[in-house]
Structure 1
């Protein structure tokens, strides 16, 4: 087992993801030399790692063999023990990503229509209006800002909170809870509730989410509205009201994944355009490329770094038999930079087509919010680029330290409108 920074063990360390160059080098080595790797990091149960696009795609297209709900994301053993004691499940929350088979299908159906392209089309003008509000905010900031922390985080948060039905004044608290959930190891973002013990921070934030969304559920049952909260509060599975833990988990995934990953793609897209100014000019000169650009921003940033899958029977990969019950990390961010699939994978290309990236997943767990994310990205840049005369970096970016969902933390820029 390699112990240097290019060992698969490094994929368990949040600090690894604070350095994108290190992550890319690690993924590239694994794809080239060790397409099936074994990781035994301290503090975690061992796991296998697949890094190639074709391999990850094959696993995700075979849900009969590979379970999602047994071990869904990489969690320290001590946190798994807390979850097991409280929820009877080492995964803790039970959102769609943690479900399999009919259970997954029935829960996904609760909001499938809400997130359809047709239904979201009714909110196109609303989203465009919110995009204008945040580009106006950027203009009002006088020629400099932190694009990630001041703009990219807040714009998709406003969109998803509006659709969910959360009041504007509650957005900062929802953002804080999201950052504590997805980035518990990041010293700036993952602060635990005061007085909580090591390893209990995620449990604390789930209790905070529960307190918040229980109030919202009661309100929407009494006074239904045209929002996602009403759909979840009154949603039924198999003819019965959704169970409390599943409903809470549904709220959490809509409220968190619904903006954190999109924020990473919007911020990372700008970083890519600054790194490749010819692509910036190509897009500014042809806004008709916004559709392919949005897909490329998501591929290039790949905010969701991994999910875990557990084979229900022995499987063979690259000459090695993996026993039933062992877990496999699917490194989606690696698949999005696979040289066997993408020409110049480390270069952002706004007209990349085809673009068969896996950043939205594939198979039954394909991202429910894909169309919303693309609408948000396109609306923002459609508003920004015609108004923006010049933009350049004003300092070095920094990145969230999280092995699960991560992206830009800061991106200082200077600009002229």
Structure 2
């Protein structure tokens, strides 16, 4: 295989300003300009190479069909551990260097793994997150949703929806699945925000924005210490929760290592609530700006499942994953060489004009809605059914109690190029009499 750091030559080069935005956490915090750039790429250069200072060159994959083609071939386009997300060269060298076994310098998450390891680890909890596995959680989740709505009502007619409701609701569901108490809520929330958004000064005071890390490994170390204790507790006293399943699982006939168990917990905890809270807040933001859409769903609750899928497409909380080609391959007429690095742009795929009619319109009645916000292929999100169930139940309760909705100020987005979403959402509403 060619070296990972090879240059990519003889290919269409993306204009420098657009390439810089594709790699910029700030651009995704601003949102509108990056969508203009991605639309230009889909139209003029759907598969081109970005050259960004201090980064290895990488292909930018903007089209829905191309991301599906890559996703169908995980042996040809691999995660290769640390290079699953966009890193600058310094961070890439640091994370790729030899390190002690179980080192927390890189989370050994499902999204980092390739076959056969990925399938082995995914099967540990697949049944628990499959539709049959979550079927009995309806009442438990509805109680948590009603608690969130009650907190809205307690704020009167105004609240900051992200902080007051959206962040806490899915986190509390995940804490219950892991068997963790509410006293851990603030700590888990704070570490998740730092883990996913180290380049946002509101969530981290580290130098991560200078190192080009997509995730905070300081937060990973803190989470590892917390979850090592959880592994020991669940091995000594299994309680039947998801944490007990992980702690007592075996990999190739041997007990799962502490770091592999901690990595699994970190994945479920962070990805299991952050993306759901972002999509929930994204739906409320869209509804607050569109009173006609709010009224349509309020009057016909059968639109709620469609609202959920449209909110997930619209928000696209996972911004990208990277893949590395294992052999030469022709994609959209371009020769991808073995060792080339590919940036899969999910916000772009989810607004692809070839797939979605009027992609910049928010339509809860959109059918079909074949978004790629949960990924595609072998690495499709393990928790997608739980996330959609949580959002469906929340909006069933939301529309039962909220009579009208509008913005009370200017929303803001997280500064992140990996996992992003709504950071602040001030709203005004009237509670149904």
Q: Aligned pairs, how many?
A: 414
Question: 1:370 maps to which residue?
Answer: 384
Write the distance in 2 (CA, Å) between the matches of 1:260 and 1:43. Answer: 29
Question: 2:93 maps to which residue?
Answer: 81
Aligned residue among 3, 24, 42 for 2:35: 24
Question: 1:53 maps to which residue?
Answer: 64
* 1:87 Cα deviation from its structure 2 partner: 5.9
Q: Do the aligned partners of residues 87 and 306 (structure 1) sit closer, same or farther apart at CA in structure 2, a change above 3 Å counting? A: farther
Write the distance in 2 (CA, Å) between the matches of 1:207 and 1:84. Answer: 17
The answer to whether the 8 Å contact 1:80/1:90 transfers is no
* 1:197 Cα deviation from its structure 2 partner: 11
* 1:4 Cα deviation from its structure 2 partner: 5.6
**3-state SS of the aligned residue for 2:270?**
helix
Question: 2:411 maps to which residue?
Answer: 397
Write the distance in 2 (CA, Å) between the matches of 1:244 and 1:80. Answer: 25
* 1:12 Cα deviation from its structure 2 partner: 1.2
Aligned residue among 256, 264, 289 for 2:270: 256
Question: 1:304 maps to which residue?
Answer: 318
Aligned residue among 43, 46, 56 for 2:54: 43
Q: TM-score, normalised by structure 2?
A: 0.91
**3-state SS of the aligned residue for 1:304?**
coil
**3-state SS of the aligned residue for 1:157?**
helix
Write the distance in 2 (CA, Å) between the matches of 1:286 and 1:240. Answer: 52
Q: Do the aligned partners of residues 197 and 401 (structure 1) sit closer, same or farther apart at CA in structure 2, a change above 3 Å counting? A: closer
Write the distance in 2 (CA, Å) between the matches of 1:355 and 1:198. Answer: 38
Question: 1:406 maps to which residue?
Answer: 420
Q: TM-score, normalised by structure 1?
A: 0.95
The CA deviation string for residues 312-359 of structure 1, in whole angstroms up to 9 with x for no partner, is: 111123333121011101111110000110011111111111111111
Write the distance in 1 (CA, Å) between the matches of 2:96 and 2:377. Answer: 28
**3-state SS of the aligned residue for 1:122?**
helix
Write the distance in 2 (CA, Å) between the matches of 1:50 and 1:119. Answer: 34
Write the distance in 2 (CA, Å) between the matches of 1:244 and 1:202. Answer: 20
Please say if 1:191 is aligned against 2:205: yes
Aligned residue among 326, 338, 343 for 1:324: 338
* 1:150 Cα deviation from its structure 2 partner: 1.7
The answer to whether the 8 Å contact 1:83/1:90 transfers is no
The answer to whether the 8 Å contact 1:183/1:190 transfers is yes
Q: Do the aligned partners of residues 254 and 87 (structure 1) sit closer, same or farther apart at CA in structure 2, a change above 3 Å counting? A: farther
Question: 1:353 maps to which residue?
Answer: 367
Please say if 1:126 is aligned against 2:140: yes
The CA deviation string for residues 162-189 of structure 1, in whole angstroms up to 9 with x for no partner, is: 1112210111111111111110110101
The CA deviation string for residues 267-322 of structure 1, in whole angstroms up to 9 with x for no partner, is: 00111112222221111111122212111111111100111111111112333312
Aligned residue among 14, 37, 42 for 2:25: 14
In terms of mean alpha carbon deviation, does 272-281 or 17-26 score higher?
A: 272-281
**3-state SS of the aligned residue for 1:313?**
coil
In terms of mean alpha carbon deviation, does 84-93 or 256-265 score higher?
A: 84-93
Which blocks of at least 5 consecutive residues in structure 2 are unaligned?
A: 1-12
**3-state SS of the aligned residue for 1:101?**
coil
Question: 1:181 maps to which residue?
Answer: 195
Question: 2:5 maps to which residue?
Answer: none
The CA deviation string for residues 27-56 of structure 1, in whole angstroms up to 9 with x for no partner, is: 101111111121121232221111000111
**3-state SS of the aligned residue for 1:389?**
strand
Aligned residue among 212, 228, 235 for 2:242: 228
Question: 2:44 maps to which residue?
Answer: 33
Question: 1:111 maps to which residue?
Answer: 125
Question: 1:157 maps to which residue?
Answer: 171
Which blocks of at least 5 consecutive residues in structure 1 are unaligned?
A: none
Question: 1:218 maps to which residue?
Answer: 232
Please say if 1:270 is aligned against 2:284: yes
The answer to whether the 8 Å contact 1:8/1:39 transfers is yes
Write the distance in 1 (CA, Å) between the matches of 2:320 and 2:133. Answer: 29
The answer to whether the 8 Å contact 2:197/2:414 transfers is yes
The answer to whether the 8 Å contact 1:73/1:91 transfers is no
Write the distance in 2 (CA, Å) between the matches of 1:76 and 1:256. Answer: 23
**3-state SS of the aligned residue for 1:316?**
strand
**3-state SS of the aligned residue for 1:402?**
coil
The answer to whether the 8 Å contact 1:80/1:91 transfers is no
